[in-house]
Chains A and B, each alone.
Chain A
Amino acid sequence: MLKIDNVTMRFGGVVAVNQFSAKIDPGEIVGLIGPNGAGKTTVFNMVTGVYKPTSGDIIFTPNGTSQSIINLRPDQIAQIGICRTFQNIRLFKELTVLDNVFIGSHLRLKSGIFSSVLRLPNYTKQEKAMYEKAKYLLEKVGLYEEKDEKSFSLPYGKQRRLEIARALATDPKLLLLDEPAAGMNPQETQELMEFIENIKEEFDLTIFLIEHHMEVVMGICDRIYVLDQGAHIADGDPLEIQNNPKVIEAYLGVD
């Protein structure tokens, strides 16, 4: 599905990510963990086209055919099936909850701006389907009741779920979740884990996630990559990672 091949990201003199490689197979849930400032979000930013890696390549294989995505813009990457959520929630604040999700499917719209203004049948049919889908997704994440509220008025946990719904509206093959459980209590976290498993099955997704809550990572990830100071230090299944001395060292700072 996704192959990150030896990527390095350098900002001026700072090396944020150093020769990182990873491979994600279709249908997997893969975790990316590491201490603060390890470069996890930078990896996401490179995969979604926000940053262009200084060196290395990223190959995406949505349906048999592979292509390098490092030269694509973020919107082109969303178009071919990679979508994400943000660590520091980025909703369209002044827009309603429903519109936030609705915009997620704008990229699949096949009508021009003038058919939308003239409300030609070809457009209205698509618009109706987009709204249906948005409503369905809102039901799925349990926000249907709030669909007409402005998104900034939602409580924090619901905003996170709304971001996931918005990302799902783009029909991704690969979903990147940046700390989906941040700020959630144990019960919400438990629900989130079930929710992630659930959408993975229903929408046939592959999921790549950054998380600090170890119970989430250990609970749902098939495999885990560990970053420390921009460098790959370990990968493997949850059990291996838990017992890897290097990982323990990175987290506890033993020297």
Chain B
Amino acid sequence: MSIQEFLQHLANGTSLGSLYALIAIGYTLVYGILRLINFAHGEIFMLGAYIAYYGIFFTPLPWWLVFILASVLTGLIGLLLEKIAYKPLRNSPRITILISAIGASFLFQNLGILIFSGRPKAFPAPAFLNGVLNIGGVSVGTISLIIPVVTIILLVLLTFIIQKTKTGMAMRALSKDYEAASLMGIDINKVISFTFFIGSFLAAVGGIMWGIKYLQLVPHMGVMPGLKCFIAAVIGGIGNITGAVIGGFILGLGEIMLIAFLPTLTGYRDAFAFILLILILLVKPTGLMGEKIAEKV
């Protein structure tokens, strides 16, 4: 493999890793607070892409405004999802709320087939985003360079929100000790809604950039990235945002490099994440950045 090829793969892996990181954050935020695997998160990602698609076709707005509005709208859908499907079950056995999450995921997928139709749609990406840059013999899609940049900007913003704002502080308090925080007068519902909004917003940004990069939308496009990003969150240590980002990059880069170095295994690409998951669970079940929580008896 030439150095150019390697750099090309590196760029691809980094952009895929960035996308995974964006989606994984949503899982990790929600899990940190509610101890819930939001199975519908992958479908939120899918919705983000489709909403942007329809926004570009049916509104006269410029593309960047459509992308922002679509992300906000998807964030609100995520917030609504929590209100309808998870909030009534907050004090129920965990298995109940997991089933609700799976139900929601399936509902979104099939609504997608019903409303958007099952046939693939071509994402109408602005032309300059689809260009190819040639830097010293390495040709890389423009979008592959933009994705990491957008991701870093969003991560900086998120870190600011979580570290500096009051809501961010409340989020951290809730994920440290749910009961104590609720006794301290934190408005739990508000914080949870905000968490779902943020997570879904980031997933939608991921979905839109996914659409620009891979150009094709289908209603079940969220399933695999959804599962993989949950795995990324677990690998990084679920509940830990830095961990989710690291996990996302490990998965994204790992996947691309696997194909690059062992092309015969290309067909097994989707199995890579799951095998990594099982290995991590065997070696370090709390993930790379996770802390062990002692159970209360």
Contacts and interface: CB of A to CB of B under 8 A. Distances in A.
User: Do A and B contact each other directly (Cβ–Cβ < 8 Å)?
Assistant: yes
Interface of A: 11, 41, 45, 50-51, 86
Contacts of B295: 50
Nearest to B291: A12
A50 B295 CA distance: 9
Interface string B34-45: 000000000000
A11 B297 contact: no
A41 B297 contact: yes
B297 A86 contact: yes
B294 interface: yes
Contacts of A45: 297
7 contacts: A11-B294, A41-B297, A45-B297, A50-B295, A50-B297, A51-B294, A86-B297
Contacts of A50: 295, 297
A46 B297 CA distance: 11
Contacts of A11: 294
A41 B295 CA distance: 13
Q: How many interface residues does chain B have, given as a range? A: under 10
A86 B296 CA distance: 12
Question: Secondary structure at chain B's binding surface: helix, strand, loop or mixed?
Answer: loop
Nearest to A48: B297
A34 to B, nearest CB: 17
Interface string B256-297: 000000000000000000000000000000000000001101
7 interchain residue pairs of minimum CB distance:
A50-B297, A11-B294, A45-B297, A86-B297, A41-B297, A51-B294, A50-B295
A86 to B, nearest CB: 7
Contacts of B297: 41, 45, 50, 86
Nearest to A178: B297
Contacts of A51: 294
Contacts of A41: 297
Interface string B14-51: 00000000000000000000000000000000000000
A86 B295 CA distance: 14
A72 to B, nearest CB: 16
Contacts of B294: 11, 51
A45 B296 CA distance: 10
A86 B297 CA distance: 8
Nearest to A86: B297
A50 B294 CA distance: 10
Nearest to A44: B297
A12 to B, nearest CB: 8
A51 B293 CA distance: 12
Nearest to A84: B297
A198 to B, nearest CB: 28
Nearest to A87: B297
Nearest to B295: A50
A86 B294 CA distance: 17
A214 to B, nearest CB: 25
A85 to B, nearest CB: 12
A11 B294 CA distance: 8
A49 B54 CA distance: 58
A45 B294 CA distance: 12
A85 B148 CA distance: 55
Interface in B84-132: none
A66 to B, nearest CB: 26
Nearest to B294: A11
Nearest to A74: B297
A55 to B, nearest CB: 16
Contacts of A86: 297
A53 B49 CA distance: 52
A11 B295 CA distance: 11
A5 to B, nearest CB: 22
B137 to A, nearest CB: 52
Nearest to A9: B294
A54 B12 CA distance: 46
Nearest to A42: B297
B92 to A, nearest CB: 14
B239 to A, nearest CB: 16
A210 to B, nearest CB: 13
A173 B297 CA distance: 22
A148 B37 CA distance: 37
Interface string B218-254: 0000000000000000000000000000000000000
A51 B297 CA distance: 10
A190 to B, nearest CB: 29
A107 B294 CA distance: 26
Nearest to B296: A88
B179 to A, nearest CB: 14
